[in-house]
Structure 1
Amino acid sequence: MDVLPLDSFIVINHTFLNDQNREVLSLLYQPIMGSIAFNLYVTLWGFIGNENINHYDIVNTMQLKLEDICKAREKLEALGLLKTYVKKGDLNEYIYELYSPLTAYEFINNPILDTSLFNNVGKKAYENIVNKFSIPNINLSEYKDISKTFRDVFSFTQTKRINNKNIVKVKHLGLDFEPTIDLREVLGNIPSELIDYKSIDSNTRMLIYQLALVYGYDNKTMTTIIEDSLGCNKKIETDVLKTNCRNYYKFENKNHVPAIVDREQPYAWRSNTNGGSKLDLYIKELEEASPKEFLTSKNGGCEPTRADLKLIEYLLIDLNLKPGVVNVLIDYVLRINNNKLNKAYVEKIASQWIRCNINTVADAINIAKGENKKKIKQQSKKLPDWLDKEIKSDLMSEEELRAFEKELGVGIND
């Protein structure tokens, strides 16, 4: 449903925006949902208690297009931070219910959110974030707890309590997603003498659904993993289940974490342009497509080969290139190397980009364009035939470069 600037709204508070919540939103949620959604959450919180306001007030406050704000709102909804209701009329009326983010512990122990964070920030940044929320491991065996209790310090007399049922309570929304497995079938395939079905509560069922979604497991695979995660008391040990799911995936995928090749450019490294030029649209395409998706499109819809996927994983994991930068690298090499992704050649260019600290799509495009022009100028004399056959594809011709830049809507001398 399209939202109009004059459509009114009110914000209902189901949260407290304290320092801890801000830190969780900033470090854990923001890499997944992006800065616009983060700012929208804070902006809506600022509108709590306001009356006679409409969506133009949000547009005016955030200085963004309403379309971008609505997309950000959907991300908040998908992450369980916002619930939206609408009453239709000549001008629609909206109710936005703000919900608290999960605690850091709850977030990191949620397989879907945890994996999404890892895929957006990479291994090193992920470890730094998790360490920030970790509690120092101090041995208290030689210490004595001397803390006072409430009655040790305070005294009180019983009085009649006032009605406080409308006081704000912190509430969380769960992630809303479609299950990818039939849990009844998964559990039904496990002999009853091995498992205590009554011990499987709603939290365990939700965890199984989440793990199956994150790792892409089918009914048969989840049955096997659950069987291996049963304790001597016939109950599913959830920590063991999570470990087994991860280990099984790493074994099947040669020690790689899930969906690495499906990562998109992190929002922190995306451009803020809303322009409609060919270059802007090209940048947006490279930012919003994962390397696997982009290479599939370059292959005319055919899935990349195992060798190409291994190369992408190498660029993302070992060289720690951003997904959007990998897309530019793929496009550049395919154009100048007869549609072939030679690992040694790709690695050579990637190493240069790393030294130049290339993190954004725009920077990658600029360095690729500049490097190709430099090579054309340096190649001033004709090469021997035998050598020309080896490296003639390493350069775009002047005509090809002009055509490429025309496609982007920029000039060769820009």
Structure 2
Amino acid sequence: MARHWKELLPIDFYSVSSNGMLHDYDRKVLSLLYQPLIGALPISLYFTLWSELEQNRIHSGSINSHRALMSLMQLRLDDIFDARKKLEGIGLLKVWRRKQEEERHFFYELQPPLSPEEFFNDAMLNIYLHKKLGKQHYQKLKSFFSDQKVATESYEHITKSFSEVFASGHFDSLYISDELKEDIKIDASETFIGRGEGATPSGFMDTFDFELFASGLSKSFISEKAFTPRVKEMIAKIAFLYDINPIQMQSLVLRAIDEKEEVNIELLRKVARDWYQIEYGDDLPSLAQRTQPLHLRTGSSEPKTEEERHIRHLETVSPLKRLSELSGGGEPSKADIDIIEGIMFNQQLPPGVVNVLIEYVMIKTDMRLSKSYVEKIASHWARKKIKTVKEAMELAKKEHQQYLSWQVEKKNKKATTSTSKKVIRQEYIPEWMKEENKDQPKNTEITPELERKRKQLEEEFKRLKKR
């Protein structure tokens, strides 16, 4: 929990508001569409904050401490903080902070979820939901949130207009006095209670190199005016979803230009999806199959040292492939894949950084991926804005003792006695971790099963060296 002290304390106060009126139907959308993507804890936090709003109001009118929120939800502060981050990332919460002397106050504004129509038409959320739930459950949810459309083609439209029904009185009756002007004036400090608009996940514009993208496009084929803010946002989102680099995106956009010389978003989605299926032979994209983006790699020169070669490997292999390599070539379990895709989606860590995280955690947790341990370190790296493999390695070495203490805390809570026969051997440490750990004791007790897995890992790294 120590990693949160600079950002959030139990004594910090907060108040809650909502961006427009939240309706009971929103609960179904949050539970059935958002919960599979971000988990139950963030949704529980959303509902808890929502409960502080009075009926038919958009502001709570009260101030509470985070200590009270911890007691109410029976959760630790770090769990609440991580859940809050997921709500922010997926567009369900906006956060403001104000500091006065030694007191900090947070203002939490709940954002309404997207409507089912917006959610199922989103260029990214619907894809991830399908990937999480599978075709059958996805189609079932889609049917639940839709209904038969009434065909009106055979009917005559006879609705009356305003001017056909109402007539204006004498012009003098519309005279507005100064007193009336004051009465109808809208107070800038107040807002009307209504329905706010749902927000989709954002931040994709920062991950796409539009300068490189534009440099390869000829103005004779497409005008700069075609790239409106909405079009650029969709290009960045589709690029993130299908792991398309700026050079590849150039040809896909040219194939999506319509007769008006504008970028047809729906056509671009189809072109990108077809490209992905041809490239990877899969229905839907998986975050765990991505590799480090070109602009986040260390360089184009040929690696000379062993560490440089290992960095290059982590930059060019997907987390799914790296997980398979560390497992002796076996297929990773669905639980492990869900853990990896969860941190890539929620913390938005680049694939190369995730590879470093996988290596570090598996070495330190008996070749297993511990969900809570992985998410704890991933949240820390996300707040540190770690983007490259080298940055991740350096931070892992620098914060090694801190991460070790988290692991010890977890082990103490789940301490069990083992009667398995144990052996003493030299623990394998990746090359990039050796410098930081040279003063650490290298002997450790492990079971025969762990001995076998460690040998497999050593053989795998030897094969990488030969490459």
Contact 1:40 1:69 in 2 (8 A): yes
Aligned residue in 2 for 1:112:
124
Other-structure match for 2:96: 85
Contact 2:114 2:200 in 1 (8 A): no
State the secondary structure of the residue aligned to 2:15.
strand
User: Residue 32 of structure 1 aligns with which residue?
Assistant: 37
Instruction: State the distance in 2 between where 1:92 and 1:57 align.
Output: 15
* 2:189 is the alignment partner of 1:162: no
Match of 2:152 in 1: 140
**Counterpart residue number, 1:296:** 322
The CA deviation at 1:13 is 2.4
Distance 1:78 1:65 in 2: 20
Residue type matched to 1:175 in 2? P
* Cα offsets for 1:179-232 (capped at 9, x unmatched): 333223323422222213213211111000000011111111100100111112
Identity of matched residues, %: 25
Q: 1:191 to 1:260 in 2, by over 3 A?
A: closer
**Separation (CA, whole Å) in 1 of partners of 2:80 and 2:167:** 51
Measured after TM superposition, the shift of residue 32 of structure 1 is: 1.1
Q: Displacement of 1:249 after TM fit?
A: 0.1
Report the CA distance between 1:136 and its aligned residue.
2.2
Aligned partner of 1:64 in structure 2 is 75
Relative to structure 1, the CA distance from residue 193 to residue 135 in structure 2 (aligned partners, 3 Å threshold; closer, same or farther) is farther
Q: Aligned residue for 2:430?
A: none
1:209 aligned residue: 236
CA RMSD of aligned residues (A): 3.7
Match of 2:219 in 1: 192
CA distance 1:262–1:220, change in 2 (3 Å): closer
Please tell me whether the aligned partners of residues 35 and 43 of structure 2 are also in contact (alpha carbons under 8 angstroms): yes
Partner of 1:370: none
- Paired residues in the alignment total 294
1:193 alignment partner, SS class: coil
Gaps of 5+ in 1: 264-291, 326-338, 340-398, 405-414
Local SS of the residue matching 1:232: coil
Contact 1:13 1:168 in 2 (8 A): no
Equivalent residue runs for 1:376-391 within 5 Å? none
Provide, for residues 348-398 of structure 1, a one-character-per-residue CA deviation record: whole Å limited to 9, x for no partner: xxxxxxxxxxxxxxxxxxxxxxxxxxxxxxxxxxxxxxxxxxxxxxxxxxx
Paired with 2:221 and 2:319, the residues of 1 have a C-alpha distance of 42
Tell me the SS of whatever aligns to 2:218.
coil
Distance 1:167 1:152, change over 3 A: same
Partner of 2:273: 246
Within the candidate set 73, 97, 103, 2:115 is matched to 103
Residue of structure 2 equivalent to 1:280:
none
Equivalence for 1:12: 17
| Distance in 2 (alpha carbons) for counterparts of 1:40 and 1:155 | 52
Among 232, 251, 264, the alignment partner of 1:237 is: 264
Distance 1:152 1:101, change over 3 A: farther
Residue identity matched to 2:268: L
Q: Find the counterpart in structure 1 of residue 364 from structure 2.
A: none
Name the residue aligned to 2:361. none
Give me the whole-angstrom Cα distance separating, in 1, the residues matched to 2:134 and 2:45. 25
Amino acid at match of 2:139: E
CA distance in 1, matches of 2:164, 2:268: 44
Name which of structure 1's ranges 110-119 and 225-234 shifts more when overlaid on structure 2: 110-119
| In structure 2, distance between residues paired with 1:402 and 1:184 | 49
Match 2:201 to one of 150, 167, 175: 175
C-alpha separation in 2, matches of 1:237 and 1:74: 33
Identify if the C-alpha distance between structure 1 residues 117 and 93 changes in structure 2 by more than 3 Å, giving closer, same or farther.
same
SS of the equivalent of 1:5 reads coil
2:273 match: secondary structure: helix
Structure 1 residue 53, shift from structure 2 partner? 1.4
Are residue 125 (structure 1) and residue 137 (structure 2) matched?
yes
| Residue 87 (structure 2) aligns with | 76
Q: Which amino acid in 2 is paired with 1:65?
A: R
Superimposed CA distance per residue, residues 6-37 of structure 1 (whole angstroms, 9 cap, x where no aligned partner): 21111132132113322322222111111111
Q: Which amino acid aligns with 1:41?
A: Y
Residue type of the partner of 1:62? Answer: M
Q: Partner amino acid for 1:53?
A: N
Letter in structure 1 aligned against 2:192: I
Q: 1:235 to 1:298 in 2, by over 3 A?
A: closer
3-state SS in 1 of match to 2:261: coil
Identify if the C-alpha distance between structure 1 residues 262 and 192 changes in structure 2 by more than 3 Å, giving closer, same or farther. closer
Distance 1:220 1:189 in 2: 7
For residues 322 and 9 of structure 1, the distance between their equivalents in structure 2, rounded to whole angstroms, comes to: 36
> In the alignment, which of 218, 243, 264 is matched to residue 245 of structure 2?
218
- In structure 2, the CA distance between the partners of 1:43 and 1:400, relative to structure 1 (3 Å rule), is same
Q: Tell me which residue corresponds to 1:266.
A: none
**1:299 deviation in Å?**
3.5
Q: TM-score, normalised by structure 1?
A: 0.61
> Given the two structures, how large is their TM-score scaled by the length of structure 2?
0.55
The structural deviation recorded for 1:115 is 2.5
Q: How is 1:330-349 mapped onto 2 (pairs within 5 angstroms)?
A: none
- Alignment-mate amino acid for residue 44 of structure 2: N
Amino acid at match of 2:322: T
Structure 1 residues 240 and 295: alpha-carbon distance in aligned structure 2, compared to 1, 3 A threshold: closer
**Mapped partners of 2:255, 2:320: distance in 1:** 38
8 Å CA contact retained: 1:37, 1:72:
yes
> Structure 1 residues 299, 58: CA separation in 2 closer, same or farther (over 3 Å shift)?
same
